[in-house]
């Protein structure tokens, strides 16, 4: 099939203008130029680079979209230190179809069209010029896998679209010129069904482990590519969203059953291939990208260039050389960390919480996630203890100082140095799928399907409560187990709290509260901690509630006005 080079629609132009890249053993990216189908077929490296380039489009949330702001600062996990930051538009009234925030619509469809272009035009190639090479079989093995990777990536970006906008146009092939600006929105249920079908179609044929292919081995460190576990993870996460109240207002038990089975399949394949819950502290840092046997990571967004310090520059405390402050964890999030000895929240009777020492004896994940007043060596080159109290080196009224009383640790590398004399960089990797999420997903789906935290069945031999307890018992956490006999309401409170703590700053909370349709409960305010230092060197801690704007139209993003001007068939989401 010859590519019609006269197609000039915006979608096709995006495909034809796409930069394609090649990869080495670290999935580094090198630029080539795409001159069309005939040029592409001349070189295996061009085909390989085309697929690898699509991986560079995977989303992550290190503040690259909102001038340092993460989605955590658009929900109740954090508050951005500078109220003029664009991430604040999510709750300050400036969000609109003309200011639709992320470019997810445009960027996702551009990538989907790359996938469609590949699947329509670059199948069944044989690369005869390579047949005498010793690595021909290995390269052909990789090439056959590329179509499965392309289908995974296309389904992945459709999930991002349906999660954000609800009904979206579903396009499975490169559209004709006459189709592009006449596409209509496909119901979300059909988009979810498409994702499920695609995952089912490729799950049993995509490569299982890129580091264990015998004589057909690819580069040993290609951990950034989708494997069977990643495909099952996409299916499972999509199934959980499809079953959630935002997309399942009738609370269909069939959808919860699908979600439970899909997430169980992830747990099963992870057990089969040696994925384990290790230390919580191993979830970030330079080596967190490792996947496979003895690791928790299923699929990661590897960041390139290899090393940066941008995340730290955005989030290291004001008052530390090179630090600009940024995404400051809220007291709302801090209050979600239970007391380590009792497993109770700070305000529950018998918790053991001491108002004069509010951080003593908390869930160990608190210390690993959040930098607080009095912390030493954060970051490592900081020789002073953090002073987040009013008048402190890192506290108000200094411009850019934390408004909440806290700074971010998670994902930041304490060994990054931002001083002029010793400035350095480190590798960062965004967690897309990890095993811990799927224990929680499974717990939610099984609880909703079976109707009790303790219920099991022949299909689901681990109860929802037991699945949550797996998370709570990880090596460096060791929180008290949730007890038998919790009421449904009590378990749901414990579950949602556990999810907030375990997945903090990993890009879940913003979406979880939406799919649960519980934004009225969580997103109308946040709590800050105001700290003052007393004359006797003790501290006074005062909670302060700050209101935020919420409207139910915000469960979905507005369709960008620019897209609706190009295509009159795109209806707008309700309320926008």
Q: pLDDT tens-digit profile of 214-229? A: 555 454 446 689 999 9
The whole-number pLDDT of residue 218 equals: 52
Average pLDDT over residues 156-168: 98
Displacement of CA 546 from its chain's centroid (Å): 26
Tokens 């789906």 belong to which residue?
445
Count of C-beta atoms within a 10 Å radius of residue 177: 13
Exposure string over 2-30, b if 16+ CB within 10 A, otherwise e:
ebeeebebebbebbbebebbbbeebbebe
The whole-number pLDDT of residue 35 equals: 40
> In whole angstroms, how far apart are CA 373 and each of 13, 40, 352?
52, 57, 20
- Kindly calculate the radius of gyration of the chain based on its CA atoms and give it in whole angstroms: 24
Residue 131 pLDDT more than 50? yes
Determine contact, residues 26/55, Cβ cutoff 8 Å.
Answer: no
In degrees, rounded to 5, the angle at the alpha carbon of residue 52 between the alpha carbons of residues 50 and 56 is: 110
> In whole angstroms, how far apart are CA 109 and each of 11, 99, 427?
8, 19, 29
What would the two tokens of residue 221 be? 């460190």
Q: pLDDT tens-digit profile of 331-351? A: 999 999 999 999 999 999 999
The whole-number pLDDT of residue 261 equals: 98
The whole-number pLDDT of residue 11 equals: 37
The whole-number pLDDT of residue 58 equals: 96
The whole-number pLDDT of residue 317 equals: 98
What would the two tokens of residue 165 be? 């906008």
Output 29 or 397, whichever has higher pLDDT. Answer: 397
The whole-number pLDDT of residue 389 equals: 98
Residue 4 pLDDT more than 70? no
Tokens 């409560």 belong to which residue?
465
Determine contact, residues 411/425, Cβ cutoff 8 Å.
Answer: no
The whole-number pLDDT of residue 250 equals: 98
The whole-number pLDDT of residue 10 equals: 35
The whole-number pLDDT of residue 125 equals: 92
Q: From CA 261, how far away is CA 273, in angstroms rounded?
A: 18
> In whole angstroms, how far apart are CA 485 and each of 110, 452, 463?
50, 9, 12
Residue 524 pLDDT more than 90? yes
Residue 183 pLDDT more than 90? yes
Determine contact, residues 65/164, Cβ cutoff 8 Å.
Answer: no
Residue 536 pLDDT more than 50? yes
Average pLDDT over residues 87-98: 96
The whole-number pLDDT of residue 41 equals: 57
The whole-number pLDDT of residue 8 equals: 32
What would the two tokens of residue 227 be? 């494997």
Determine contact, residues 32/19, Cβ cutoff 8 Å.
Answer: yes
Residue 278 pLDDT more than 50? yes
Q: From CA 440, how far away is CA 498, in angstroms rounded?
A: 9
The whole-number pLDDT of residue 15 equals: 40
The whole-number pLDDT of residue 14 equals: 39
Q: How is residue 537 annotated by DSSP?
A: S
Determine contact, residues 320/388, Cβ cutoff 8 Å.
Answer: no
The whole-number pLDDT of residue 37 equals: 59
Q: pLDDT tens-digit profile of 382-407? A: 999 999 999 999 999 999 999 999 99
Q: Give the closest residue to 545 by CA, choosing from 396, 381, 404, 439.
A: 404
Q: From CA 49, how far away is CA 52, in angstroms rounded?
A: 5
Q: Give the closest residue to 71 by CA, choosing from 336, 563, 430.
A: 430
Q: From CA 430, how far away is CA 438, in angstroms rounded?
A: 17
Output 12 or 61, whichever has higher pLDDT. Answer: 61
Residue 69 pLDDT more than 90? yes
**Which helix H or strand E contains 329, and what residues bound it?**
strand 327-329
Residue 18 pLDDT more than 70? no
Output 309 or 7, whichever has higher pLDDT. Answer: 309
Q: From CA 403, how far away is CA 283, in angstroms rounded?
A: 27
What would the two tokens of residue 286 be? 């330079």
The whole-number pLDDT of residue 153 equals: 98
Average pLDDT over residues 58-76: 96
> Both ends of the chain: CA-CA distance in Å?
43
Average pLDDT, rounded, for the chain = 91
Displacement of CA 517 from its chain's centroid (Å): 19
**Cross-strand partners of 525:** 547
Q: From CA 279, how far away is CA 359, in angstroms rounded?
A: 21
Average pLDDT over residues 71-95: 97
Output 48 or 504, whichever has higher pLDDT. Answer: 504
What would the two tokens of residue 393 be? 């080196």
Count of C-beta atoms within a 10 Å radius of residue 218: 19
Q: From CA 564, how far away is CA 433, in angstroms rounded?
A: 33
The whole-number pLDDT of residue 304 equals: 64
For residue 38, name the pLDDT band (cuts at 50, 70, 90): low
Determine contact, residues 376/501, Cβ cutoff 8 Å.
Answer: no
Q: From CA 564, how far away is CA 573, in angstroms rounded?
A: 11
Q: pLDDT tens-digit profile of 474-492? A: 999 999 999 999 999 999 9
Residues 6+ apart with CB under 8 A from 135: none
The whole-number pLDDT of residue 21 equals: 30
- The total number of residues shown for the chain amounts to 576
For residue 505, name the pLDDT band (cuts at 50, 70, 90): very high
């Amino acid at each position: 099939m010859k590519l019609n080079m006269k197609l000039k629609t915006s979608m096709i132009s995006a495909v034809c203008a796409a930069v394609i890249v090649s990869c080495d053993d670290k999935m580094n990216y090198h630029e080539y130029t795409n001159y069309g189908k005939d040029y592409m077929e001349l070189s295996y490296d061009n085909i390989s680079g085309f697929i690898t380039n699509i991986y560079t489009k995977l989303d992550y949330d290190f503040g690259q979209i909102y001038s340092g702001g993460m989605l955590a600062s658009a929900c109740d996990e954090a508050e951005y230190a500078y109220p003029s930051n664009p991430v604040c538009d999510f709750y300050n009234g400036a969000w609109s179809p003309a200011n639709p925030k992320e470019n997810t619509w445009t960027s996702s469809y551009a990538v989907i069209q790359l996938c469609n272009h590949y699947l329509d035009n670059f199948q069944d190639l044989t690369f005869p010029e390579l047949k005498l090479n010793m690595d021909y079989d290995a390269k052909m093995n990789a090439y056959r896998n590329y179509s499965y990777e392309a289908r995974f990536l296309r389904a992945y970006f459709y999930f991002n679209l349906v999660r954000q906008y609800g009904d979206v146009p579903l396009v499975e092939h490169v559209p004709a010129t006459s189709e592009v600006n006449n596409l209509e929105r496909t119901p979300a249920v059909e988009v979810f069904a498409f994702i499920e079908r695609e995952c089912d179609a490729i799950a049993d044929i995509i490569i299982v482990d890129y580091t264990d292919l015998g004589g057909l081995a690819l580069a040993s460190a290609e951990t950034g590519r989708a494997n069977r576990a990643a495909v099952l993870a996409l299916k499972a996460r999509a199934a959980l969203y499809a079953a959630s109240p935002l997309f399942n207002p009738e609370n269909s038990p069939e959808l919860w059953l699908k979600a439970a089975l899909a997430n169980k399949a992830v747990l099963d394949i992870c057990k089969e291939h040696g994925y384990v819950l290790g230390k919580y502290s191993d979830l970030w840092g330079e080596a967190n990208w490792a996947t496979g046997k003895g690791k928790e990571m299923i699929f990661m967004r590897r960041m390139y260039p290899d090393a940066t310090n941008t995340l730290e520059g955005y989030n290291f405390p004001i008052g530390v050389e090179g630090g600009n402050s940024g995404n400051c964890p809220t007291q709302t999030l801090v209050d979600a960390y239970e007391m380590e000895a009792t497993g109770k929240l700070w305000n529950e009777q018998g918790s053991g919480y001491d108002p004069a020492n509010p951080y003593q004896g908390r869930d160990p994940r608190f210390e690993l996630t959040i930098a607080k007043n009095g912390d030493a060596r954060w970051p490592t080159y900081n020789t002073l203890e953090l002073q987040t109290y009013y008048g402190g080196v890192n506290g108000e009224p200094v411009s850019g100082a934390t408004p909440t009383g806290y700074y971010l640790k998670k994902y930041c590398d304490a060994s990054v140095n931002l001083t002029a004399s010793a400035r350095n960089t480190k590798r960062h990797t965004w967690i897309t799928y990890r095993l811990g999420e799927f224990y929680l997903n499974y717990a939610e789906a099984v609880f909703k399907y079976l109707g009790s935290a303790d219920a099991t069945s022949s299909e689901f031999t681990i109860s929802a409560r037991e699945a949550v307890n797996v998370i709570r018992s990880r090596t460096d956490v060791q929180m008290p187990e949730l007890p038998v006999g919790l009421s449904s309401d009590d378990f749901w409170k414990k579950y949602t709290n556990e999810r907030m703590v375990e997945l903090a700053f990993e890009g879940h909370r913003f979406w979880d509260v939406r799919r649960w349709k519980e934004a009225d409960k969580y997103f109308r305010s946040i709590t800050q901690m105001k700290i003052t230092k007393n004359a006797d060197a003790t501290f006074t801690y005062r909670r302060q509630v700050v209101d935020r704007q919420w409207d139910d139209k915000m469960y979905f993003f507005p369709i960008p006005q620019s897209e609706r001007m190009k295509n009159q068939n795109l209806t707008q989401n309700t309320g926008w």
